Each structure stands twice: as structure tokens, then as C-alpha cells.
A and B are shown apart, each in its own frame.
Chain A
Amino acid sequence: MNIHEYQGKNLLREHNVAVLSGVHCTTVEQALAAYDALGSKVVAVKSQIHAGGRGKGTLYHPETRAHVMDGGVKIAFSRDEVESYATNILGNILVTIQTGDEGKVVNNLYIEAGCDIAHEYYLALLVDRDNKSVLIMASTEGGMDIEEVAEHTPERIHKVVVDSNVGLLGFQKRDLGMALGLRSVALKAFSKMLANMYNMFVSQDCAMVEINPLVRTGNDEIVALDSKISFDENAEFRHKNWDELRDLSEEEDVEIRAKETGLSYVKLDGNIGCLVNGAGLAMATMDVIKLYGGEPANFLDVGGGADEEQVKTAFSIILEDPNVKGILVNIFGGIMRCDIIARGVIAATEALSLEVPLVVRLAGTNVEEGKKILDTSTLNIHAASDLAEGAQKIVALIGGEE
């Protein structure tokens, strides 16, 4: 789960990591009031969306798609500039390297005071799968795309792996700070900041914290100028405040509804809907559809113990996508019994008066009973005995290229 920069900065502030003064706004009037209140001659006017590359992004009109302004993050030197930037940003669509061509509507703005920057650094905390530990990564090349730094000048990226048995140690903070070229006052400030940030990472169940740039000011203070924070969704049960931080407009409405009913759904661009049990098998089903010349319309995992009702919800979610021309159901029954799935499929097709072709492949527990139920139904359901046959059948039925 991602949060906005302004929410991340509130969190950092609460955990005693230095950030600049700033105000979250949703209207131009609020932006102007924020400028007056901050009392800083120079302010940053920053679009708030859950995607990177905002500074280099482009703003477009939401209906006409006419070009409005280059750059989703602007430095304003006057009240008038704040007004014109805020007007150009709010309500318009920001397209960045991470949003895709569709872009995202900007509903939130952050007006932040300026500061005197001596040097920009990069800092990230994340859970590293290789070491099965929290990894801290820092670089002297702040403000740059870290993937590029890693490719061209990997020696400029410094890493520290935290041993979760003992936590972040003093020498690790010192080593990392020294590697960034920090000394005396700045080094002390960095060590303190890093300890606080690590504590926040752990106590808030973060999945990633990325600060790019982290800056050293002319006074040798260490300040987080940007913040990109995401949480580990598995830990939601112990963070009641996440509900308030969640921006539902940033998430696909149908993906949220799927999640509420215990389904895992991701919309894709193709025209063959899939309903599968198990994440690995669901991915494999998409792959095999593609292998036989079709295009999957979605990823959908109904989980280990789906019932008739969930199967019905799954079908209705798949059918909401107007691109869907056919559906492939692929169930390997383990905990889940094939006869229950078969009944669910029939109930769903009847209830939703399904018109697109449907191919069902069942295997595993109670498969014979399941097949019998499908065979005796009068509905237009095509059976398949394995995944390849199922994929070939559905591709042929929707008249896709062979």
C-alpha cells in the first residue's frame, strides 16, 4: 500500500526525521493561503500522486487531453507563480514514466518551503529478499534515477544489511555516513536521522522508504526533501490508521472490491477472462493463453477455499470488463472440491445470463462429479481436460488468431 508524499512527511516528522515545513492543499485558494503562511519566498509546488517521475512528467486536460504544462513539481518564486502552477496542476492529468499513457488525475497538492541545499543524496530502506533482512541503501548521487546509478556507477551505492537479532548498529550508521562523505556535525545528524528512520520502518511495517533526494543544508542539517513510503499490506491488522492514509482514488475500484470478497484480481488489456485457484496457476493460465495466441483480460485467484458465492462474484467482476469475449476457468481442486466449483459456475452463468463462451478445466478432488455436473447442464459450457486444451479451445471459440 502506497501513501502520498505529504502523508509520508507527516510520518517522518512524527518520527523525528527532519523535513521542511509544508501544507497539503486541494484547492488553489488553499495553495495561496499556504504560501502566505509558510513565509518562504521560494516554495515547491508538488503534485501528489502514487507514482514516481513527477518532476519530469507532463500535465494534460482530463477531457480534451490538451497539453497544459511540463513538470508536475514546480519551484515558485512568487505568489502569482504559485497560483498559476496550482491552477495548472489541480484537476488535470499527470503522465509520468511510471503512470502509463493514461496518467493520473491530481487531486492533492503539497506546498513546501524552500531550503539551502549543499548536497543531494539518495537513501532507501527496504526488505531484501536475498538477505532476508532490512537493507539500507545510500548514494552520493541524489536526485538521480537510482537504477541508472546502479548500472553505470555501482561503486557510488553503499549498502548496510541490518541483523534483525540486534537492530541497526552504531558503526553501520557511521560507516554509511562516512561513505557518503559526511563528517562531524553532518555525520552526527545523519546517524541520528538514520536511527529514527529505521525505527519508523520497523514500527510502521514499511515495505519501502525511499528518500530521493535526502539533502545536507548549508548548516549541515540532514533533511528529507522527498518521501516515497509503502506499507506491507500483511501488517494492516495492527495499523488501524492505514484506513485514513489509503487514497482509494489511486487504486482500481474493481481490484478493491475483489479484495473485499477474498479474491485477488488484476486487470489486464486482453479479451480472455480467467478464473483460477492459486496465484501461480493463475499466472500460468495467463501465460498459456498467450502461448496459444490469445490475450488474458485479467489475473484472478479465487484462493484455496472459494465457495459458490465467491465464484459468482468472480464471474461478475470478470464480466464488468467490456473487452472480455470469453472466459477460461482453470481449477485444480485441492482443498477446493471440483463439484462445488461446477455448481458455482452453473449458478453464476445462470444468474448473470452469461453470453460469452466459457471453457472449464477441472482437475483434482471430486473431478468426476464436477465434470458430470457440467455435462448434464444445458448451458453452453465447454469442458477441457488440461490447461493447454482449455487455452486452445477458448482462443478458437473467440476466433482469435491461431
Chain B
Amino acid sequence: MAIWIEEDAKVLVQGITGKQGMFHADKMVEYGTNIVGGCTPGKGGQSVELQGKEFPVWNGMSDAIKATDADATVIYVPPPFAAEAIMEAADAFDSIKGEGVVVCITEGIPTLDMVKAVAYVNNRPGIRLIGPNCPGIITPGESGGAKIGIMPGHIHAKGRIGIVSKSGTLTYEAVAQTMSIDEGQSTCIGIGGDPVNGTGFIECLAAFQADPQTKAIIMIGEIGGNAEQEAAAWAAQNVTKPIVGFVAGATAPPGKRMGHAGAIISGGKGTAEEKFEAFRAAGIACAMDPSELGQVLLESLKSAGLR
């Protein structure tokens, strides 16, 4: 099972002829992702070589989906054009298949562009947007699997822990922590650190709760906004599987943007302390140090009778 992305999902790459797009497309093929081609306006009909194999390029997403019956797309398009790429993909998936997963890796998209793109995606209920400014989504398989994004594939293994996080490298840290106690992952999702993004914590938690492969969840938040608090309150009512949590930014000063556009404590709101408290109130087991996530997870699995 896993969530949203099956091990053998057919994946397109938008911006496949660009430096970033080609580099990561190659890594995805190497991991075993079922890449079926890509899109770059004006380069339709060409092909790109990834891991010694040729992959077709189309001008637009509509042609690419019609030709490949793709399930998902991953976007490595520069910021000025990324929101448009999201909407193009959403429109094509919606009109051709009625569903599709759009993963946007691009960092630095103007917020008002994302306001428009998210509204556009939300008008097409079969379309799921992950990101932007995120590492992507990965469903490790028995051998290979579906890696849709920029995460290092080799640190993952198929298993029963679902991971959702706002931050890229902290997700990798969480993956390494599951491996340190001999647990693998069902699906790992980086939802991104921008203030306006697609899929949020609650949708991920709901999907993990419904997924038979997932037995426990790691949720990693950071300062800014109140998505973590809302997710915790929702989880208290709706999630029966054990959840382990961490929030980054306890030492961040108010009013300063900590790298991610969304990671800013404004008006005294969105502090790590506030979020940890919400986690605890919802019965989420908290690690105060990401190097302890493995041990806290192990305890949670034991008390749930899973170890």
C-alpha cells in the first residue's frame, strides 16, 4: 500500500532538460522510480539520456499524460514559471484522468503566485499538490521504489513508519532514526516550508491512519503559523496509531525569517514551545532532540504492542 504514490507509479518530470531537472531525474531513475519522460516547452520531440536510457520529452503536460498515462509529476522549474507549471499539470491531470499527484520541488516561488496556484488546484478535487519548497515524496519498495524528489534514496528502506515533515534534511534525519531501530518507512512526505503550500499535515495524517502498511507516524514541524497545532488537535480525535513529534526552532528569535519563508515567529505566535505543548496535549510523544526520535519511536512502538 503506502500513501498516494505506489512503488511503481508512473512519473513525469517538468523541467527535465534543465540542469536541476536532469540531475535529479537521473537520480530517480537510478533509485528505480518509474520515470516515463518529461516536459520542457519548446523541446518536445527531443529525448534525454538518464542512466544510459533514452526518455521522451513533450512540449506540454497534456500531450505527456495522454502518451504515458502518468500518475504523478515532479516540478524542477525555476521560480518565475513554477506556479504556472503547477497549474498546467493540475489542468492536464484533471481533464485527462480526473486525478494526479503534482510534486513541486522549486524554492522561492512568489507567495501570491502560490495563492493563485493553490486555489486553482483546489478547484480540481482529484489533484494533490505536494510542496513547493520541499524534498518531495518517497515510497520505498522491496527493491527500488518511487522516489519523487531530491531526497537521498539510499538511506531509505521499505517499512511501516510514515513520516511527514516541513523540512528536507530533518526528514532525512528522521529516516535515519527509524533505520537506527531497524524500522523502514511506508511513505515519507516533505510538505515544504513555505507559508502557502499544497498538502498539509492533516491530510498526511489522515492518509497514514487509513493506510494498512503504516503502523506509526513521525511528524516534524517548525516555527511559524499554526498548522502543527491544528494537526495535533485533529490527530487527538482521529488518529489511533502512535505519533512521534519534533518541532525545530525553539531557539529562533521572534521576527527573524529562519531560512524558510514560513519559519518566522510573528506577533509572539507560532513558537516551538506552543507547538510542543499542542503535541503533548494530543498525546504525541515528543523528542526534544532529533537524535532521540528513534528511541522515542521505539518506546511508542513497544507500548502499542508493535515491538
Contact = CB atoms under 8 A, between A and B. Distances in A.
Contact of A333 (B119, B152, B291): B152
Contacts of A282: 258-259
B162 interface: no
A287 interface: yes
Contacts of B79: 234, 237
A334 B135 contact: yes
Contacts of A378: none
Contact of B290 (A130, A237, A288): A288
Interface string A120-164: 000000010110111000000000000100000000000000011
Chain A's interface size range is 35 or more
B172 A133 contact: no
Interface string B99-131: 000000000111111111011100100000000
A103 interface: no
Contact of B111 (A232, A281, A304): A232
Contact of B173 (A163, A264, A332): A332
A234 B261 contact: yes
Contact of B251 (A268, A334, A387): A268
A239 to B, nearest CB: 10
Interface of A: 98, 127, 129-130, 132-134, 147, 163-165, 202, 205, 207, 232-235, 237-238, 264, 266, 268, 276-284, 286-291, 296, 299, 301, 304, 332-335, 363-365, 386-389, 391
B112 A235 contact: yes
Given A387-B289, A387-B290, A234 B222 contact: no
29 contacts: A98-B255, A127-B112, A129-B262, A132-B196, A165-B120, A234-B111, A238-B80, A266-B257, A268-B251, A268-B253, A279-B222, A279-B263, A280-B167, A280-B169, A280-B260, A281-B167, A281-B248, A282-B258, A282-B259, A284-B170, A284-B173, A287-B248, A287-B250, A287-B251, A335-B152, A363-B173, A363-B176, A365-B152, A387-B290
Contacts of B53: none
Nearest to B270: A129
A280 B248 contact: yes
Nearest to A232: B111
Nearest to A337: B152
Binding site secondary structure of chain A: mixed
The 7 tightest CB contacts between A and B, nearest first, are A280-B167, A279-B259, A278-B169, A235-B110, A281-B169, A280-B170, A283-B248
Given A147-B267, A286-B252, A334 B110 contact: no
A291 B289 contact: yes
- Most interface-central of B108, B167, B251 (chain A CB within 10 A): B251
A132 B110 contact: no
B115 A234 contact: no
Contacts of B150: 304, 334-335
Contacts of B176: 332, 363-364
A279 B260 contact: yes
B112 A163 contact: no
Contact of B258 (A202, A237, A283, A365): A283
B90 interface: no
A386 B249 CA distance: 19
Contacts of B119: 132-133, 163-165
A164 B196 contact: no
Contacts of A202: 112
A127 B115 contact: yes
Most chain A Cβ neighbours within 10 Å, of B167, B248, B250, B257: B248
Interface string B238-274: 0000000010111111011111111100011000100
A129 to B, nearest CB: 5
Interface stretch (B33-41, B208-216, B223-231): B223-231
B256 A284 contact: no
B181 interface: no
Contact of B152 (A165, A268, A290, A334): A334
A237 B110 CA distance: 9
Contact of B115 (A134, A233, A365): A134
Contacts of B262: 129
Contacts of A237: 79-80
Contact of B112 (A232, A296, A332, A364): A232
Contacts of B227: 129
A364 B155 contact: yes
A237 to B, nearest CB: 6
Given A279-B259, A299-B259, A334-B151, A234 B252 contact: no
B168 interface: yes
Nearest to A147: B267
A232 B116 CA distance: 15
Contacts of A364: 152, 155, 172, 176
A332 B251 contact: no
Nearest to B221: A280
Nearest to A204: B112
Contacts of A291: 288-289
A202 B259 CA distance: 24
Interface string B182-202: 000000000001011000000
Contacts of A98: 255
B154 A365 contact: yes
A334 B292 contact: no
A207 B252 CA distance: 21
A280 B253 contact: no
B193 A279 contact: yes
A264 B151 CA distance: 21
B165 interface: yes
Contacts of A164: 112, 115-116, 119
Contacts of A289: 251
Contacts of A130: 225-226
B10 interface: no
